[in-house]
Copies of this chain bind each other. A is one copy, B any other.
Amino acid sequence: MSAGHTAVTTTPPVVSCGEAHEDCGIREVLDRIGDKWSVLVVVELAQGVRRFRELQRAVPGISQRMLTLTVRRLERDGLLTRTVHPTVPPQVDYELTPIGHSLTHLVKALADWSAQHRDALARARHHFDAAHPDADIR
């Protein structure tokens, strides 16, 4: 056990993945809802049952392909149910499961945080860009 230098770390650990950062499970969540469309679909479904077209209209910009993939993945993870009505023309209803609904609370926390710090973030970014005109960050 080589002593080495003792790092100064006395900060109230709001988050700590057990002892090691070990990922916790944060990555798991973000891998699921961190994509471009999942949360938007979840937000819309938080309002109630939606059909495929309704979802597509409610989430402007999403392509059929992406909507299909998104709802399929959400279904796979048990966050929503997919109900096919054997009618013609076909009708498919999507609805959040209880777990999916519990996720909306998380999304709300995200939205709240965003609303609260949006201005500060924008200012910080503007300040940084002014100080580093030729930064290749973005």
- Contact status B78-A24, CB under 8 Å: no
* Interface residues as binary, A24-45 with B (CB distance below 8 Å gives 1, 0 otherwise): 1111111011111001100110
Chain B residues, CB < 8 A from A59: 21
Q: How many copies altogether?
A: 2
Q: Is the CB of B26 within 8 A of A111?
A: yes
Give the contacts of A100-122 with B (CB-CB under 8 A).
101-111, 113-118, 120-121
A28 and B78 contacting across the interface, CB-CB below 8 Å: no
* Chain B residue at smallest Cβ distance from A68: B137
A128 touches B75 (CB 8 A): yes
User: Is A2's CB within 8 Å of the partner chain B?
Assistant: no
Are A107 and B15 neighbours in the complex by a CB distance under 8 Å? yes
- What are 9 pairs between A and B in contact, CB < 8 Å? A7-B54, A14-B105, A15-B111, A30-B110, A76-B125, A76-B137, A77-B121, A78-B124, A79-B124
